[in-house]
Amino acid sequence: MISEQQFADSASSLRVEGAAIKAVAEVESSGDGFLADGKPKILFEPHIFWKQLRAKGIDPNLFMEENADILYPTWKAGAYGPVSKQHSRLERASKINREAALMSASWGKFQIMGFNWKLCGVASLQEFINEMYKSEDGHLRLFCTYIKNTFLDDELRAHDWAGFARGYNGPLYLKNRYDTKLRTAYLKHKGQLVA
């Protein structure tokens, strides 16, 4: 669990409000970085797995027949399944290619994509994964480094929720109203949301 002091210190280092960081955590993971069994919360992205395999020179079509639920070329709304099944999906994908699979999931309290590990200031994908298994403090450190390296701290500072959403989640953010959810969560954590 991340303490109020850790949120405050991280907010100070990014020159943003703690409420903005808390809003991202709430929207990305409902505020929880870990599942009840102690594993980090993840979301496995089958369309990203497709791209990661292709980038490694592996033809995803060769694996489609038995893996249609974890491997497809384009994003599909509502096709992820429950949070409780994400690690088993990742394990199946890892049997095809471990590195591509790990890079195809979003991880932890801030749901940072595995393929962004270099932007998180770690030396390897495995170090990124290890940090995700350790603690929410680690999730926060990786998030802050990622935000600095992608220059999204400016959007958080300015409360440019659409700009942040576009940079953090890509152009499809509008489909799930990510920017609106961020604004609402920010106001809640700021104590300005009237029920």
Answer yes or no: are the C-beta atoms of 52 and 65 closer than 8 Å.
Answer: no
For residue 22, give both structure tokens: 């808390």
Q: Where are the domains of the chain?
A: 4-33+135-190, 42-107
Answer yes or no: are the C-beta atoms of 60 and 53 closer than 8 Å.
Answer: yes
Q: Could you report the per-residue pLDDT of 113-132, keeping only the tens digit for each?
A: 999 999 999 999 999 999 99
Q: Could you report the per-residue pLDDT of 40-55, keeping only the tens digit for each?
A: 999 999 999 999 999 9
Taking the CB of residue 191, how many other CB atoms lie within 10 A of it?
Answer: 7
Q: Could you report the per-residue pLDDT of 79-94, keeping only the tens digit for each?
A: 788 899 999 999 999 9
For residue 187, give both structure tokens: 């106001």
Answer yes or no: are the C-beta atoms of 151 and 163 closer than 8 Å.
Answer: no
Read off the pLDDT band of 193 (50, 70, 90): low
Output the pLDDT for position 18: 95
